[in-house]
Amino acid sequence: MTPALQIWILMAAQTLHLDLRGRKPDQQVDCLKEQYVALRGTGSVVRAQVEERPVRQYISMLERGYRVTLEREGEATWLVLRPDDSTPRLGLRGAHSVVSHRDGRVYTNTTGNRVAVLDGSTRKVLKHIAVGDDPSHLELSHDGRRLYVANSGSDDVTIIDTVSDRVMATVPTGKRPLLPCVAPDGNAVYLPSGPGRTVTVLDAAGALKATIAVGAAPHDIAVSPNNRWAYQPNSGSHTVSVIDARSQSVVGEIKVGFGPGHIAFDPESRFAYVANTLSDDVTVVDTSNHEVMTTISAGVAAHLPLVSPDGRYGYVANFASDDVTVWDTKDHSVIARIPVGIYPHFFAISPDSQWMVVSNTGESSVCVIDARTRESKARLQVGGAPAHLAFDPDGACAFVGCESTDQVAVIDLRRQKILDLVKAGSA
């Protein structure tokens, strides 16, 4: 029997206590969202007691930009929500995922189950392409000829011919497909399904190659640069499934930290770096034997790892400590912590390796950082809930998807200036 919701308020401390144990994960998240809306800006704190290791709830709220932490007190586990003036992703599901074509076009998902096509130089919307329900993430093929759109609401992927910007095919996947990953040789596209605990593997044109069973709550799969291995982090089972990219079969499981979500390989495919959101660290895996080499301490809620183009440095954005951890890939020692804005959702290094751009979902800003000196050069206000970003072919501009205002922010990196906020969903 589900325990009754117990609420008591300690007025002096302005703290609201909830007992959510026994409720379904989605119900727990919905309850906390309601409290956020009701208490935002009041200085209150919401402490919700939940079951041990509430992976789905914690990561779900972090992904949406809520000011939440995970705390242990003896045998009790608490999700602690601070409804401050930060700006989580509420309401409008607009521009979130952004990719840049080598010819200067920019693609983003937008409202109305569409993908918007922008001219990067004129910053005008050229076209809207109808896709499946609730498009979430986009990925271009390496030759730029195809765009893959994961439709989380209709459980399929739309494949777009970028020569004509017309739909080539719509292909079924597992339930709620996540970030598409195109293999380096372009011959396979991987789409994880969290609810299905599977990975759908398609060829470039969309023909099914395999459906692979993996661990619980698989998230962002990555393929090694040498095209030998696909590593699938499983947030719910705290493992990485090792997939042989030749046979498209699981050949092993690696125990990593708690709540792994994203993976980055070094350019030579020697190491894989696994960001573990619940244990606040990065697992380093030797790809020659798929064994853990070491663990790098990171900030709170380590989310997205990245390796510099020259392979010398590794980075991870930390959701809840508002910074980026930097390590030396020679000995995996931490050499810096770069402060950024509230909830760094995504970051990337420009093609010329000069700039690091960080989107801060929780405060609707973007940090522009000198990647060589690691000094912040600007914090620019953009549209609501900035998320994924891409660069133009020359690396002169960055394009940032702003989900809750359905805009694409265009940033001049040399001058650290906002050039435009393009409304992606405009007719």
Q: What is the pLDDT along the chain (427 residues), one digit of tens a residue?
A: 344 444 444 433 488 999 999 999 889 999 998 998 888 888 889 999 998 878 888 888 888 888 888 888 888 999 999 888 777 777 678 999 999 999 999 999 999 999 999 999 999 999 999 999 999 999 999 999 999 999 999 999 999 999 999 999 999 999 999 899 999 999 999 999 999 999 999 999 999 999 999 999 999 999 999 999 999 999 999 999 999 999 999 999 999 999 999 999 999 999 999 999 999 999 999 999 999 999 999 999 999 999 999 999 999 999 999 999 999 999 999 999 999 999 999 999 999 999 999 999 988 999 999 999 999 999 999 999 999 999 999 999 999 999 999 999 999 999 999 999 999 997 6
Q: Which two tokens stand for residue 271?
A: 């190491």
Residue 60's closest CA among 26, 86, 106?
Answer: 26
The domains of the chain are located at 6-81
Unique residue bearing structure tokens 């969309």: 206
Residue 53: predicted pLDDT: 77
Q: Is 217 exposed, middle or buried (0-12, 13-18, 19+ CB in 10 A)?
A: buried
Instruction: Write phi, then psi, for 37 (nearest 5 degrees).
Output: -65, -40
State in Å, rounded, how far the first CA of the chain is from the last one.
Answer: 50
Q: What is the CATH number of domain 6-81?
A: 3.30.110.40
Say what the pLDDT of residue 91 is: 65
Render the burial of 316-347: b for 16+ CB within 10 Å, e for the rest: bbbbbbbbbbbbebeebeeeeebebbbbbbbb
Q: Of 169, 217, 209, nearest to 193 (Cα)? A: 217
**pTM above the 0.95 mark?**
no
